[in-house]
């Protein structure tokens, strides 16, 4: 894992954007931020799947 994963930064940015949108009453901004949070969760899932695939390859000696 990297110091700060790309998906984690996106998630933090989207969370802040959603809160600002909610506080200012900007529903479009809040909705956009929810979409960005979902994208960050997808990136996180992809990273986890890649890590599991690497572990399986290491364990069973399978090359790419």
CA distance 64 to 54: 9
Kindly state the helix (H) or strand (E) to which residue 33 belongs, with its residue range.
Answer: helix 27-60
Predicted TM-score (pTM) of the model is 0.75
- Residue 62's pLDDT band, with cuts at 50, 70 and 90, is confident
Whether 55 maps to a domain, the answer reads: yes
HEC profile for 36-63?
HHHHHHHHHHHHHHHHHHHHHHHHHCCC
Whether 1 maps to a domain, the answer reads: no
pLDDT tens, 3-41? 568 888 999 999 999 999 999 999 999 999 999 999 999
- Residue pair 17/31 in contact (Cβ under 8 Å)? The answer is no
Q: Tell me the CA distances in angstroms from 54 to 1, 40, 48, 51, one per residue in order.
A: 13, 21, 10, 5
Q: How many domains does the chain have?
A: 1
- Residue 64's pLDDT band, with cuts at 50, 70 and 90, is low
Q: State the average pLDDT over residues 37-48.
A: 93
pLDDT at residue 4, as a whole number: 66
- Residue range(s) defining the domain that contains residue 41: 6-60
């Amino acid at each position: 894992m990297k110091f700060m994963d790309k998906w984690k930064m996106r998630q933090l940015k989207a969370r802040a954007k959603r809160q600002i949108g909610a506080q200012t009453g900007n529903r479009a901004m809040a909705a956009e931020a929810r979409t960005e949070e979902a994208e960050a969760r997808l990136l996180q899932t992809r990273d986890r799947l890649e890590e599991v695939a690497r572990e399986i390859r290491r364990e069973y000696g399978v090359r790419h």
